[in-house]
Amino acid sequence: MMRKDQIAKHYRNLQQQVCQKLETADGGGVFKTDHWTKDIGEGFTMVFQNGSAIEKAAVNFSAVNGVVNENMRKALKIDEGQEYFASGISSIIHPRNPHAPIAHMNVRYFELSSGHSWFGGGIDLTPHYVNKKEAGWFHRELKNICDLFSPDYYPNFKKWADDYFYLKHRDETRGVGGIFFDHQSADDDLAFEQLFAFTRDLTQAYPRIYKELLNANRDKEYTDDEKQWQYLRRGRYVEFNLLYDRGTKFGLESNGRTESILLSMPPMASWAYDFQPVAGSREEETLNLLKKDIGWISF
């Protein structure tokens, strides 16, 4: 189908552009390409390790198809169609410096044999230490993109991100959120073109936004205690991805490539029993800001 070919071609090209821009932003590392094929389709896993400022990054592309099994039907709330096609890009960036944030981006297209199709995705930010000014700038950048398409996108998708990127067993958000959306119907041509353009704009903005945040923090001095805090916050990131992330669940349920699915994991993380931050510390301040419905755009 024309849509499938169009989606896969554009997303693959965007993946390469993102990698090139992140290499330039880091100034030291290079992505390695791992092209994989399975009975459900193919993908290109781009992996970046041990750069100057980025400790680990990944930009995945895949185009897969197959039969909708019962676990997928339940996880993705599919009530029609026996076969599926899915293509998308997902990316994660883990910086060296604990004052620089983790960033995540995902865009995806899903089509069923019934003819129903939709887009999903978003961008979110997980600072190890929350900087209100940077969080506000980040949210305003996302709002500017959203407003090009609909005044409803940012408030709706920001709320969705707050609810989605939430560790209910910890009663804390994964970070300062961003935007998240799913099951945005692309059944008619107008909706398809708008949503497709929206996902392309988000993907192109992702490395530009991250470069600004990285450059603001990459050379800041940090202590061993701050590095240990970074490892603890990475541990929370791991918990979310393994317990709640839909992309991880879909990849495993669809017999996807395990190495690519779990590539979002940080190179080093830790857990401490009943960790309590020092009163009045930046660690305590960060934990107090990991809440839903904060109006970051006003900072």
**CA–CA dist 21, 48 (Å, integer):** 12
Count CB atoms within 10 A of the CB of residue 145.
18
**What's the distance, Cα to Cα, between the start and end of the chain in Å?**
46
**CA–CA dist 241, 126 (Å, integer):** 13
Residue 118 has phi, psi (to 5 degrees) of: -155, 165
**CA–CA dist 66, 121 (Å, integer):** 21
Query: Does the annotation count 139 as an active-site position?
Result: no
Let me know how long the chain is: 299
**Active-site annotation holder among 104, 128, 139, 183:** 104
The answer for residues whose C-beta is within 8 angstroms of residue 140's C-beta and 6 or more apart is 297
Catalytic residue set: 104
